[in-house]
Amino acid sequence: MTLESASVALASRTTRRSLLGRMGTGFVALVGGPLVAVALSPQRAAAYHVCGHTYTTNSCPHPFAPHTRVDRFGYPVHPHHGYPVDDRGDIYTSRAQTRRRVCQEVVAKKYPLTGNPRYGGGWSRCCKGRIRRIYDCCSYSDTRINGDASVRGYCHKGRKVFCIAYRDTEVRC
pLDDT digit string, tens, across residues 81-101: 999 999 999 999 999 999 999
Q: Please report the pLDDT score of residue 30 as a whole number.
A: 52
Q: Are strands 160-172 and 130-139 parallel, antiparallel or unpaired?
A: antiparallel
- Cβ(164)–Cβ(60) under 8 Å? yes
- Cβ(103)–Cβ(119) under 8 Å? yes
- Cβ(134)–Cβ(108) under 8 Å? no
CA distance 169 to 10: 34
Q: Please report the pLDDT score of residue 28 as a whole number.
A: 46
Nearest to 92 by CA among 111, 108, 109, 70: 70
Q: What angle do CA 55, 57, 58 make, to 5 degrees?
A: 120
- Cβ(168)–Cβ(130) under 8 Å? yes
Q: What is the mean pLDDT of residues 26-53?
A: 50
* DSSP H or E segment with residue 42: helix 42-45
Q: Specify the pTM.
A: 0.70
